[in-house]
Amino acid sequence: MVSNVQLADPVKLIQKVATYFKESRVIEPPPWAMFVKTGVHKERPPQDPDWWYIRAAAVLRKLYLRGPLGVSRLRKFYGGRHRRGHKPPKFAKGSGAIMRRILQQLENAGLVQKYDEKGRIVTEKGRELLEEAAKAVLKVEARKA
């Protein structure tokens, strides 16, 4: 059975959940968040001031769809092509500190929990949040169609 979270447009769903995180202060970016790159493969820090909320919402959605996931698997999802000058490019993982901190914040908010030694999964509260947001996104898309 396909859930509303799978049917909803991922960009709009993540934006809706990120807005909720920002307004309700469930997730707070650490003081260093505006200065860090999101991985060794990036040249500059993110330009969007709300990138922390967007990444947290994307991680929550990813856990909902593919959980249980740990830090290293999530680093792989958010990695990219590392251009190394004259040497050929290689794949580089995303930042582990960012992933770890976001997972800890989601866990403190009660949206995810640890699952054996396999990583983290979405709790009932997190599942409800995503499904409510997906329902709202689908309702808006249905009105436009």
Span 6-27, pLDDT tens digits: 999 999 999 999 999 999 999 9
CB 78 within 8 A of CB 94: yes
Termini Cα distance of the chain: 23
- How many whole angstroms from its chain centre is CA 1? 23
The secondary element (H helix, E strand) that includes residue 119 is strand 119-122
Counted domains in the chain: 1
Domain membership of residue 41 as a residue range: 4-144
Residues listed for the chain? 145
CATH number reported for the structural domain that contains residue 69 in this entry: 1.10.10.10
Residue type for position 70 = G
39 SS3 class: strand
Number of neighbours of residue 84 by Cβ within 10 angstroms? 11
Angstrom distance (rounded) from CA 68 to CA 75: 14
Span 41-99, pLDDT tens digits: 999 999 999 999 999 999 999 999 998 999 999 999 999 999 999 999 999 999 999 99
